């Protein structure tokens, strides 16, 4: 049984002359074409031979038995087909006449393929535009593109965008190349059957490798996120985590944990901490904590004093994203408030600090080095208590 060998095709399928030359060079090395795939060609090992290969083009993917017989009578043996390209071979000593001796007539055989590739290119470009619009909506619809990126919400659309960009690139090149080939044939210039293929082979191999690596790595990211993400009930005891705790802000020994208001999957979502990961923020925490001070009332007598705190923490892989991330966090959580209500202030232990105070609500946005924190606190503790706790915790992940 003859051994088969698979090789990456040297260039794009529409480069007819380069493929004919490649097939002939492989036959001279004892590798004879058996089948063509999307990216690879299958060869059978045999004796070294000087062979001629010609590619005939038709809009039909299957070539008729009558046409195969007609070419066989002229000395050309049918080998295989791929897309609308049909490969024939003939030993050099057979001296078979060319399949096409009139370039303008051969150009006519490419007319339908030209139309089909142009139509495909239009469809692919329109689809790509829709993908771009979808990505634009995901990134910019709520005005928080950096936050969306940091939280990993753009990974899957990005994979799709990369795939479509590559598809658009190939579709446009196919349409342009076939049209250029037709133009040359109409001008009477025949296809170069010994066109050099090694340069495009290196380029094609490099592009294929890079595309495979980029898409492969991108496809892994969502799985890593699924494995790493987790949510648990926040213990009342202190954890060695870069999060601001309600008890530390309140500093009230009478404070106790509020009764769970919503429990799902054994998680008290009123007192929980979630961990997440993305390439742009490999450390992410989000926490909610609710407490109550028995016997103490809110000043408006609306009920028992029940302070709460919400914390978001990001350790960035690209520290320069911090400014934009804070701006996006403000945009996400300011609701009906004006941006003027968020006041930038100075602190010796922070690179950047913004505070927002409205009655019992105190909100702080800060970053230092790689770390960004957002804390929203409801209660009567002073804003400085929130800030000092942020300073203490942010240093854990700022380097």
Region 320-333: mean pLDDT is: 94
Q: Express each pLDDT in 299-316 by its tens digit.
A: 988 899 999 999 999 999
C-alpha span between 221 and 116 (Å, rounded)? 36
Among 49-58, 125-134, 192-201, 294-303, which stretch is predicted with the lowest mean pLDDT? 125-134
Q: Summarize pLDDT for 66-83 with one digit per residue, the tens.
A: 989 999 999 999 999 988
pLDDT at residue 47, rounded to an integer: 93
Residue 54 burial by Cβ neighbours in a 10 Å radius (0-12, 13-18, 19+): buried
- Indicate the class that CATH gives domain 229-394: alpha beta
pLDDT of residue 377: 97
Q: How confident is the model at residue 179 (pLDDT cuts 50, 70, 90)?
A: very high
Q: Which pLDDT score, from 0 to 100, does residue 292 have?
A: 96
Rounded to whole angstroms, how far apart are CA atoms 36 and 12? 12
Percent with pLDDT over 90 in the chain? 57
So what's the pLDDT on residue 80? 94
pLDDT score of 64 = 86
Segment 10-33, tens digit of pLDDT:
878 888 999 999 999 999 999 999
- Please tell me the pTM assigned to this model: 0.71
Q: What is the pLDDT of residue 243?
A: 95
Q: Give me the pLDDT at residue 281, please.
A: 94
Instruction: Decide if pLDDT at 290 tops 70.
Output: yes
Q: How far apart are CA 252 and CA 256, in angstroms?
A: 9
Q: Which residue has the higher pLDDT, 120 or 378?
A: 378
Q: What is the pLDDT of residue 1?
A: 55
Average pLDDT over residues 311-330: 95
Return the exposure string of 146-173: e unless at least 16 CB atoms fall within 10 Å of the residue's CB, then b.
Answer: bbbbbbbebbebbbebebbeebbebbbe
**Percent of the chain residues past pLDDT 70, beyond the cut:** 98
Quick one: average pLDDT of 176-193? 91
Domain ranges for the chain, please list them: 4-100, 109-220, 229-394
Q: Which H helix or E strand runs over 125?
A: helix 111-140
Q: What is the pLDDT of residue 89?
A: 96
Give which of 20, 80, 100 is closest to 53, Cα–Cα: 20
What does the pLDDT read at residue 18? Answer: 92
What pLDDT does residue 71 have? 92
pLDDT at site 38: 81
Mean pLDDT of the residues in the chain? 90
In this model, does residue 206 exceed pLDDT 90? no
Cα–Cα dist 296/299, whole Å: 9
Is a pLDDT exceeding 80 seen at residue 378?
yes
Reported as a single tens digit per residue, the pLDDT across 29-69 is 999 999 998 888 999 999 999 999 999 988 776 788 898 99
Average pLDDT over residues 289-297: 95
At 192, list the tokens.
């170069």
- For range 314-323, the mean pLDDT: 95
Write down the pLDDT at residue 186: 93
């Amino acid at each position: 049984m003859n051994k088969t060998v698979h090789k990456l095709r040297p260039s794009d399928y529409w480069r007819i002359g380069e493929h004919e030359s490649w097939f002939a060079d492989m036959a001279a090395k004892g590798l004879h074409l058996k089948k063509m795939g999307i990216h690879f060609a299958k060869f059978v090992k045999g004796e070294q031979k000087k062979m001629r290969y010609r590619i005939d083009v038709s809009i039909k993917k299957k070539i008729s038995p009558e046409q195969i017989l007609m070419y066989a009578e002229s000395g050309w043996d049918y080998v295989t087909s791929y897309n609308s390209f049909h490969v024939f071979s003939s030993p050099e000593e057979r001296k078979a006449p060319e399949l096409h001796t009139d370039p303008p007539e051969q150009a006519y055989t490419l007319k339908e393929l030209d139309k089909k590739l142009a139509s495909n290119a239009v469809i692919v470009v329109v689809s790509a535009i829709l993908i771009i619009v979808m990505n634009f909506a995901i990134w910019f619809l709520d005005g928080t593109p950096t936050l969306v990126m940091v939280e990993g919400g753009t990974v899957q659309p990005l994979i799709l965008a990369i795939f479509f960009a590559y598809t658009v690139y190939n579709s446009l090149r196919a349409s342009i190349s076939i049209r250029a080939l037709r133009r040359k044939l109409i001008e009477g210039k025949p296809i170069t059957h010994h066109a050099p293929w090694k340069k495009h082979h290196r380029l094609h191999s490099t592009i294929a490798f890079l595309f495979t690596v980029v898409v492969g790595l991108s496809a892994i990211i969502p799985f890593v996120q699924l494995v790493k993400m987790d949510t648990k009930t926040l213990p009342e005891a202190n954890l060695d985590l870069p999060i601001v705790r309600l008890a530390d802000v309140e500093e009230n020994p009478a404070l106790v944990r509020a009764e769970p208001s919503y429990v799902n999957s054994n998680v008290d979502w009123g007192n929980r901490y979630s961990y997440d990961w993305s390439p742009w923020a490999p450390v992410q925490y989000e926490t909610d904590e609710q407490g109550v001070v028995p016997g103490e009332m809110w000043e408006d007598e609306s009920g028992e004093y029940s302070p709460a705190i919400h914390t978001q923490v990001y350790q960035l892989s690209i520290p320069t994203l911090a400014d934009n991330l804070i701006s996006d966090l403000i945009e996400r959580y300011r609701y009906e408030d004006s941006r003027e209500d968020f006041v930038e202030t100075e602190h010796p232990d922070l690179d950047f600090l913004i505070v927002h105070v409205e009655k019992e609500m105190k909100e702080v946005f800060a970053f230092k080095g790689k770390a960004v924190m957002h804390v929203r606190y409801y209660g009567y503790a002073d804003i400085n208590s929130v800030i000092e706790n942020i300073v203490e915790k942010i240093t854990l992940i700022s380097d």
